[in-house]
């Protein structure tokens, strides 16, 4: 039976690659009207054009000839810096989130991931300090500096994805999604940030999760969105720098000299700018002192990048990677069987490269090397040792 071309999936693949209809038409050497017909289902590409689509867009050919067998409910995506982000950058981010949800849902069949905390009790609370301290207590963080927010987020049950989405205007994005009656909060971070900025970005996304329940950010106007972003920033600041420890430590130091924040940066693992803003929010410094500190940073050329930004490695998510290693080490699934199972259960056809990016692993693990003609043997150490 002839398989039917799925125009909606062509549109999805085009948007994921940040291509306009005109861009794709030029690469295919057809008119933009023809691409529109492909996407609307009014015309099917020839066999040769379908192969070219695979080459251009990086998706397996089967992707374009299959239907989704799942329904994902996305409550809206929180884009840090949405006010400057373009629609062209947001669309592939939303699509990559969908793929991440499916992969996480697939892995849930085999892996006992941490469960998301019950956030319902925070719904009507607006005391950020109280909320942050309560979450710290429930996750056994205490009030000390957080050394790796990625690890904390994964321990809290968030699915954290590191993806080079090549967008300087978006530090991170997140969304609550449900599939098969299971909820997943996905946090995606980019590769162009610094470790210290990443710390704040992830805490900011956790702030959206806890403060903005049942809120669709895409339905907010510009001013409403700015208020929501400010709230997430305040939560991130209190979560990373509790007043009972960070505030008390800072009060015992010279608060209007930039060296103080330079010396504290590698202890509290946040940017100097974030510490200065936190000091102002806690009324430890005045507005004039805050401005003086920023001027000192500017004079010393300590902004973009700040000291330590370039020589401190960003931490990476490990939950997806460890899940795959467990499945393969325990002989539950072989690497090349994972994309096959995803296709079988969800009709989702992704290349090893795309899966590798989602899971943070070398794409080669998803390839079947059992048919390779290269046969290697281990050296006979016993005979060699006896001969010597």
Could you give the number of structural domains in the chain? 2
In terms of domains, do 38 and 181 share one? no
In this structure, are 25 and 149 located in the same domain?
Answer: no
- What pLDDT score does 251 carry? 96
Q: Would residue 336 count as lying in a domain?
A: no
Q: Tell me: do 35 and 139 sit in the same domain.
A: no
Let me know whether 51 and 91 are in one domain.
no
Residues 196, 206: Cα–Cα separation, whole Å: 16
Tell me the residue range of the domain where 189 lies. 73-299
Q: Are residues 169 and 85 in the same domain?
A: yes
Between 260 and 217, residue with greater pLDDT: 260
Of 282, 299, 316, the last residue of a domain is 299
Two structure tokens written together for 278: 């936190």
Domain assignment present for 257: yes
What is the rounded average pLDDT for all residues in the chain?
A: 91
For residue 369, is pLDDT > 90? no
Which three-class secondary structure string do you get for the chain? CCCCCCHHHHHHHHHHCCCCHHHHHHHHCCCHHHHHHHHHCCCCCCHHHHHHHHHHHCCCHHHHHCCCCCCCEEEEEEECCCCCCCHHHHHHHHHHHHHHHHHHHHHCCCCCCCCCCCCHHHCCCCCHHHHHHHHHHHCCCCCCCCCCHHHHHHHCCCEEEECCCCCCCCCEEEEEEEECCEEEEEEEECCCCCHHHHHHHHHHHHHHHHHCCCCCHHHCCHHHHHHHHHHHHHHHHHHHCCHHHHHHHHHCCCCCCHHHHHHHHHHHCCCHHHHHHHHHHCCCCCHHHHHHHHHHHHHCCCCCCCCCCCCCCCCCCCHHHHHHHHHHHCCCCCCCHHHHHHHHHHCCCCCHHHHHHHHCCCHHHHCCCCCCCCCCCCCCHHHHHHHC
Q: Whats the size of the chain, residue-wise?
A: 388
Domain assignment of residue 334, yes or no: no
* Residue range 187-194: mean pLDDT, rounded: 83
Whether 362 has a pLDDT exceeding 60, the answer reads yes
Q: Is 208 in the same domain as 263?
A: yes
Write the pLDDT tens digit of every residue in 139-189: 999 999 999 999 999 999 999 999 876 555 567 899 999 998 899 999 999
The predicted pLDDT at position 69 comes to 87
User: Could you tell me if 221 and 242 lie in one domain?
Assistant: yes
Predicted TM-score (pTM) of the model is 0.89
CATH of the domain at 27: 1.10.260.40
Q: Is residue 384 part of a domain?
A: no
Least confident of 31-35, 106-110, 177-181, 227-231: 177-181
Which of 62-66, 103-107, 163-167 bottoms out in mean pLDDT, i.e. has the lowest? 163-167
| Same domain, yes or no: 13 and 140 | no
According to the per-residue pLDDT averaged within each range, which of 72-86, 105-119, 185-199 is highest? 105-119
pLDDT value at 378 more than 80:
no
One domain, residues 24 and 168: no
> Of 269, 299, 329, at which residue does a domain stop?
299
Q: Are residues 220 and 251 in the same domain?
A: yes
In a domain, 380, yes or no: no
More confident position, 83 or 117: 117
> Looking at per-residue confidence, does 61 or 380 come out higher?
61
318 lies in some domain: no
Q: Considering 299, 314, 338, which residue would you say is the last residue of a domain?
A: 299
Res. 379: pLDDT tops 80:
no
205 and 145 co-located in one domain: yes
Cβ burial of 285 (10 Å; 0-12, 13-18, 19+) is buried
Tell whether 244 is covered by a domain: yes
Q: How confident is the model at residue 87 (pLDDT cuts 50, 70, 90)?
A: low
> Residues 183, 83: one domain?
yes
Residue 376 is assigned to a structural domain of this protein: no
Q: Quick one: average pLDDT of 322-333?
A: 96
Q: What is the pLDDT of residue 214?
A: 85
């Amino acid at each position: 039976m002839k398989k039917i071309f799925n125009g909606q999936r062509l549109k999805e693949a085009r948007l994921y690659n940040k291509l306009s209809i005109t861009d794709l038409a030029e690469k295919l050497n057809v008119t933009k009207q023809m691409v529109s017909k492909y996407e609307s289902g009014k015309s099917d590409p020839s066999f040769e054009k379908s192969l070219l689509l695979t080459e251009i867009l990086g998706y397996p050919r089967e992707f374009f000839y299959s239907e989704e067998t799942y329904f994902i409910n996305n409550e809206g995506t929180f884009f840090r810096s949405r006010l400057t982000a373009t629609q062209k950058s947001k669309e592939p981010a939303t699509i990559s989130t969908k793929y991440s949800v499916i992969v996480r849902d697939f892995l849930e069949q085999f892996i006992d991931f941490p469960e998301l905390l019950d956030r319902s009790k925070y719904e009507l609370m607006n005391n950020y300090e109280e909320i942050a301290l309560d979450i710290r207590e429930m996750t056994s963080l205490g009030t000390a500096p957080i050394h790796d927010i990625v690890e904390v987020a994964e321990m809290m049950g968030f699915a954290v994805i590191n993806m080079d989405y090549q967008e300087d205007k978006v530090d991170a994005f997140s969304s609550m999604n449900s599939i098969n009656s299971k909820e997943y909060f996905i946090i995606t971070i980019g590769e162009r940030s610094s470790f210290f900025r990443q710390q704040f970005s992830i805490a900011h996304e956790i702030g959206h999760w806890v403060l903005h329940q049942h809120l669709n950010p895409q339905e907010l106007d510009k001013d409403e969105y700015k208020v929501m972003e400010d709230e997430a920033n305040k939560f991130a600041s209190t979560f990373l720098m509790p007043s009972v420890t960070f505030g008390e430590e800072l009060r015992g130091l010279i608060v209007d000299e930039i060296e103080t924040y330079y010396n504290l940066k590698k202890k509290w693992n946040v940017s100097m700018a974030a510490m200065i803003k936190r000091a102002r929010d806690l009324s430890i410094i005045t507005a004039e002192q805050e401005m003086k500190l920023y001027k000192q940073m500017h004079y010393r050329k300590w902004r973009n990048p700040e000291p330590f930004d370039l020589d401190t490695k960003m931490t990476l998510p490990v939950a997806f990677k460890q899940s795959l290693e467990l499945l393969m080490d325990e002989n539950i699934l072989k690497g090349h069987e994972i994309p096959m199972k995803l296709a079988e259960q969800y009709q989702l056809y992704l290349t090893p490269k795309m899966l590798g990016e989602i899971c943070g692993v070398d794409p080669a693990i998803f390839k079947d090397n059992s048919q390779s003609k290269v046969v290697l043997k281990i050296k006979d150490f016993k005979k060699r040792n006896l001969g010597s």
